Amino acid sequence: MASSSKTEQKKMLILKSSEEEEFEIEESIAVQSGTIKNMVEDDFTLIPLPNVDTETLIKIIKYMKKHGEKTKSNEKDIEEFDKEFVKKSFTELKELVLAANYLHITSLIDLLCQAFADRIKNKSVKAIREIFGIPNDFTPEEEAEVYEQHKWAHEEGKEHIDHSAY
């Protein structure tokens, strides 16, 4: 029966990194993470995240906060943010995608995967291995065989000219 409007108490959560550092965040923002959402539904307010280190968690919180305030008018702004967000070192991106995967933040996973794809595009096999730190477990013969298998798909080029129509 109070006529004055109360300021709504926003429900806060605490996220704890693997290094035991704690961060307060609004629940409405944190539930962009499917994993956190599930825990909230099980009545957790302190959310331990043993798979996410502090540095990565800070970045993820920054991302969620920005995307939490998404409206129709600030789409461009968020696009810019995303563009800048992925301008990170390869190692940082890797930590982020592992964490985003663990936390089930779909939009962030998509953003990061696109960023990775951009770094793979038009690169040689060797360059990709270096970038990702992946050891080559193919013998030269095996690798050649893999290449031969699908060479046909891109060798022919436009060999079938349709003269029938026009």
Contact residues: another protein, CB under 8 A: 94, 97-98, 101, 109-110, 113-114, 116-118, 120-125, 128-129, 132-138, 143, 146-147, 149-154, 156, 158-162, 165-166
Contact by Cβ (8 Å): 63, 27: no
Closest to another protein by CB, 10 vs 87, is 87
Taking the complex as a whole, the smallest distance from the CB of residue 138 to another protein amounts, in Å, to 7
Taking the complex as a whole, the smallest distance from the CB of residue 35 to another protein amounts, in Å, to 15
Closest to another protein by CB, 41 vs 159, is 159
Closest to another protein by CB, 7 vs 124, is 124
Closest to another protein by CB, 42 vs 157, is 157
Taking the complex as a whole, the smallest distance from the CB of residue 87 to another protein amounts, in Å, to 17
Mind spelling out the 3-state secondary structure of the chain?
Answer: CCCCCCCCCCCEEEEECCCCCEEEEEHHHHCCCHHHHHHHHCCCCEEECCCCCHHHHHHHHHHHHHHHCCCCCCHHHHHHHHHHHCCCCHHHHHHHHHHHHHHCCHHHHHHHHHHHHHHHCCCCHHHHHHHHCCCCCCCHHHHHHHHHHCCHHHHCCCCCCCCCCC
Taking the complex as a whole, the smallest distance from the CB of residue 56 to another protein amounts, in Å, to 13
Closest to another protein by CB, 6 vs 121, is 121
Taking the complex as a whole, the smallest distance from the CB of residue 83 to another protein amounts, in Å, to 12
Contact by Cβ (8 Å): 93, 60: no
